[in-house]
Amino acid sequence: MGMDQTAVGCVMTRRRALACGAAAFAGASLRCNGSWIDSLLHLGDSEAPAEIFKGDAPDARLWAQWRERGWVREASHYLKLGANVQCKTCPNNCILEPGDRSHCRNKVNCDGTLYTMAYGNPCTFHVDPVEKKPLFHFHPGSRAFSLATSGCVFRCLNCQNWEISQKKPEETKDPSGPELRLLPSRLGSLTYEDMARVSLFPDDVVAVTKALACPSIAYTYSEPTAFYEYAFDTCKLARENGLMNIIVSCGSIEDRPLRDLAQFVDAAHVDLKGFDDETYRRLNSGKLQTILNTLKTYNEMGIWFEVINLVVPTYTDDLDSIRRMCGWLVDNLGPDRPLHFSRFMPQHKLDHLPPTPVDILVRARDAARAAGLRYVYIGNVREVADAGTTYCPGCRRPVIERDVFSVTSFLLDGGKCHFCGTPIAGVWAA
């Protein structure tokens, strides 16, 4: 899996985990979104607890500042095991003794309670076209207020946002200056230095999104599962205020928090990073089946989502594996699920690899179409003229054309092909 060189990593083995928490397992209490449930859950939920940061919780001074700023909240899904805790948000299932920090870097055990440090303190936010998520079949041409905190549940060797995803909250934010909340009146006057101390609580996010006339909020760039509590509260409030929510995720999340969050989600983009456990282990961490379960859950709940597959040379460019993946998508999600193949560019720990050859991406698209997928795209390329074109599955004419993230032609009438009337899958209403 490859913990960063700088990380204070520690593998908590099953034996050690049992030693520190087993006695409490028979009577463990499970916290699920604010309620405590007596639980008989045990370590068998995951094969091996994740690497954590041993004794790496903030010191008393920083912790006090963080709390005063409102950037600390009790976690929503976890088990109390005496003085120890087990997070139940993602399949890493981190087991933390007091003073330990989680695998995603955002959670700590303080005196037997699990807290997130990633609440109301995004390290980046922008207004993006929804096509940049990428979502091609969801309110095309609209804009999403997009935000992220530090942290991630994965360790992808190719991460393009590693400078925030592989950082602790206190490496991206600074609570030492005066408090600064981002209110709509402050838009446009924020300096680079302000970003480190600015707060953006759920009601601020809603107010700013409305002031910017964006119809949706995207939880993106790093991994929303790693800032679950912040994303959940913001999604809920946004829904109450008539805004839409877009989750951009690796899909590695436990079933209960996924279903809790999904009730407020309007669209999702899920990375399917490979199609076997070995690739996930070498390239990303995590397990394939968890991601497939997330895809099936979104499908079952009727939430619009699109799938992206980054084609990384020597890791995920095998066409047989791509064919198996496309077959699974058709069999389990149907032919109308959009699939985006994305071109790898050298970065992070894979900067020695070349960009994905364009002909591999075209062959992957051909294989996906041959498997029966109706809407297949190629991202991060300029060389393929119709890389972002939606073709009508009825008459085969182009009905939506795009230039990178801009819609240049839109020939749907009420969600149907302008030429032959065939319905085009997606969420098209204004």
The answer to whether the CB of 244 falls within 8 A of the CB of 233 is no
Report strand pairing: 376-379 vs 412-413.
unpaired
C-beta of residue 110 within 8 angstroms of C-beta of residue 68: no
Q: Is 103 in the site for ligand SF4 (CB under 6 A)?
A: yes
Which of 30-38, 90-98, 236-244, 352-360 is the region at the interface with ligand SF4 (rule: CB under 6 A)?
90-98
- Residue 327 token pair: 């077959």
- Site membership for ligand SF4, residue 225 (CB under 6 A): yes
Q: With both helix axes pointing from N to C terminus, report the angle between 358-371 and 319-333 in degrees, rounded to the nearest 10.
A: 40
**How many residues touch ligand SF4 (CB under 6 A)?**
14
**Under rule CB under 6 A, residue 76 binds ligand SF4:** no
Contact segment (CB under 6 A) with ligand SF4 among 9-17, 83-91, 260-268, 356-364 equals 83-91
> Which CB sits closer to ligand SF4, 134 or 286?
286
- Report how far residue 382's alpha carbon sits from residue 384's, in angstroms, rounded to the nearest whole number: 6
Q: Is there binding between residue 57 and ligand SF4 (CB under 6 A)? A: no
- Does 12 bind ligand SF4 (CB under 6 A)? Our answer is no
Question: What is the rounded distance in angstroms from the CA atom of residue 396 to the CA atom of residue 394?
Answer: 6
Interacting residue with ligand SF4 among 28, 79, 104, 268 (CB under 6 A): 104
Report if residue 109 touches ligand SF4, rule: CB under 6 A: no
**Structure letter (DSSP) for residue 283:** I
Site string for ligand SF4, 135-174 (x = CB under 6 A): ------------------x---------------------
Number of CB atoms found within 10 A of residue 408's CB: 11
Q: Which is nearer to ligand SF4, 147 or 153 (CB)?
A: 153
β 113-116/73-74 pair status: antiparallel
- How far, rounded to the nearest angstrom, does the alpha carbon of residue 303 sit from its chain's CA centroid? 15
Q: Least distance to ligand SF4 from the beta carbon of 249, Å?
A: 12
Q: Give one DSSP letter per residue of 206-271, joined into a string.
A: HHHHHHTT-SEEEE-SS-GGGGHHHHHHHHHHHHHTT-EEEEEE-----HHHHHHHHTT-SEEEEE
* Nearest to ligand SF4 of 90, 376 (CB atom): 90
* Nearer residue to ligand SF4 within complex by CB, 256 or 416: 256
What residues from 350 to 369 belong to the interface with ligand SF4 (CB under 6 A)? Answer: none
CB of 166 to ligand SF4, least distance (A): 13
Q: Which stretch binds ligand SF4 (CB under 6 A): 57-65, 84-92, 133-141, 211-219?
A: 84-92
CB 340 within 8 A of CB 379: yes
- Shortest CB 253 distance to ligand SF4, Å: 8
Q: In the complex, which residues of this chain contact ligand SF4 (CB under 6 A)?
A: 50, 87, 89-90, 92-94, 102-104, 107, 153, 225-226
